[in-house]
Amino acid sequence: MQQALEIMAPAGSFESLAAALRAGADSVYFGVGMFNMRARSSVNFTTEDLPKVARLCHACGAKAYLTCNVIIYDEEVEAMQELLRQAKAAGIDAVIAADLAVITYAHSIGLEVHISVQANVCNLSAVKFFAAYADVMVLARELKLSQIRTIIDGIRQENITGPSGKQVRIEIFAHGALCIGISGKCGMSLAAYNHSANRGECFQLCRRKYRVTDTETGFEMDIDNQYIMSPKDICTIRVIDQLVEAGVAVYKLEGRGRSEAYVSTVTAVYKEAVTDCAAGKWSPEKVAAWEERLLHVFNRQFWHGGYYLGEEWETWSGCSNSLALEQRHHLGRIMRWYPKVQVADIRLEAHPLSPGDKIEITGPTTGIVRLTVQEVRCDDENGVTQVVPSVPKGGHALVAVPEKVRHGDKVYLVTRRKLK
């Protein structure tokens, strides 16, 4: 029997958490403090946030997963254990881990464990070993689809169960940034800056340009792609039907450092895709439309299917940052939303606003609201509200916003990106 299909979305803030939940995420993963793979970045929650994160997820019928997937040193064991105890007390559904110190302790206190990609699970024997501790396992990103299918078939045939008593579920990376390292393991940042990627401190040296020089002659090698270690993002939309057919249960979307727009779009697209696959409604025409939507948010171009199809690396990304078709610029903030007429008062802090402009409104409770401005109004010097062709920077624009937004929500102007 086909297991329920789960879309697991990233959350690096309450804004992106709300965006993920509004887009239909079945689960959300996030980090706290130094024990996760985004420890160096600002996309982390605090221990005080744990109850709120769990409450928001559960109110939407979604699960909350804490990432604790770095390697742990002896002097950190006590702090790690305290974090897991707080997560369990807060109602967090599971911890994603690779270090056995984390795995065994979480298991001992009854906190569900999901094995991280950093554990590099590549075969059925590894699944059997970790099944003593975990109900979900992320397979290594380097496996072929045929190998994934063999592992899932083996789980079914041998009825390999986790601590819950249910069959082990298999998770794969479905979309987002890929690393030059094996399943995320890399030593470049440690060697260059004494900051380990395996401790959540990656400086992403692979995303930079490099010049190769012959040290004896000084001759510089001509490399046709300047970003020779920066791979394209994985995108499995074209093969999602094959992954569903193979029995993959959980589809992880990478991007805790991405915007609310990215989280919302990617979550919604993959939710639609797996739902259609399960209902037998997947089609090439839908794939084309889904890919078009994905291109509008952060991407380094796409490697369609990744290693799963057994293909060699496609050309490198050719960039260090995003090639999204759209970009956003800070526009202003919501001052008030009038529910009876569904109109928002926007204070324009950085740009003017005119009919036809595309805007995004984001906030920790709002998540993200997108719309194209149909009409702008403002009050004249006598306090009379009038329709105007544009409201200048520094003014207050009254705009129809059909969904509830809140005081202090950020407003962005969305424009077409000019790509070279």
Q: Can you give the pLDDT of all 420 residues of the chain as single tens digits?
A: 456 899 999 999 999 999 999 999 999 999 998 886 665 556 689 999 999 999 999 999 999 999 998 889 999 999 999 999 999 999 999 999 999 999 999 999 999 999 999 899 999 999 999 999 999 999 988 899 999 999 999 999 999 999 999 999 999 999 987 776 665 666 666 666 666 566 556 656 666 666 777 778 877 766 666 666 667 888 999 999 999 999 999 999 999 888 999 999 999 999 999 999 989 898 889 999 999 999 999 777 787 877 888 766 555 666 656 777 888 999 999 999 999 999 999 999 999 999 999 999 999 999 999 999 999 999 877 778 888 999 999 999 999 999 999 999 999 999 987 755
Q: For the sheet with 343-348, list strands across it.
A: 367-372, 358-363, 410-416, 326-338, 343-348, 396-400, 376-379, 385-388
Under DSSP, is residue 31 helix (H, G, I), strand (E, B) or coil? strand
pTM: 0.85
What pLDDT, on the 0 to 100 scale, is given for residue 77?
95
Q: Quick one: which H or E segment has residue 106? A: helix 100-108
Q: What is the C-alpha to C-alpha distance for residues 322 and 354, in angstroms, rounded to an integer?
A: 27
What pLDDT, on the 0 to 100 scale, is given for residue 192?
63
Q: DSSP E strands: which ranges in 177-320? A: 233-235, 250-253, 302-304
Amino acid at 204: Q
Q: What is the C-alpha to C-alpha distance for residues 376 and 399, in angstroms, rounded to an integer?
A: 5
Q: What is the C-alpha to C-alpha distance for residues 77 and 59, in angstroms, rounded to an integer?
A: 32
Q: Quick one: which H or E segment has residue 398? A: strand 396-400
Amino acid at 102: V
What pLDDT, on the 0 to 100 scale, is given for residue 214?
73
Under DSSP, is residue 97 helix (H, G, I), strand (E, B) or coil? strand
Residue labelled with tokens 């450092």: 257
Task: Output helix, strand, coil percentages for the chain, rounded to the nearest 5.
Answer: 30, 25, 45
Q: What is the C-alpha to C-alpha distance for residues 280 and 277, in angstroms, rounded to an integer?
A: 5
Under DSSP, is residue 126 helix (H, G, I), strand (E, B) or coil? helix
Burial level of 396, CB count in 10 A (0-12/13-18/19+)?
A: middle
Neighbour tally for 152: CB within 10 Å = 22
**The Cα angle at residue 307 between residues 192 and 113, in degrees rounded to 5:** 75
237: number of CA atoms within 13 Å, CB side? 25
What pLDDT, on the 0 to 100 scale, is given for residue 1?
45
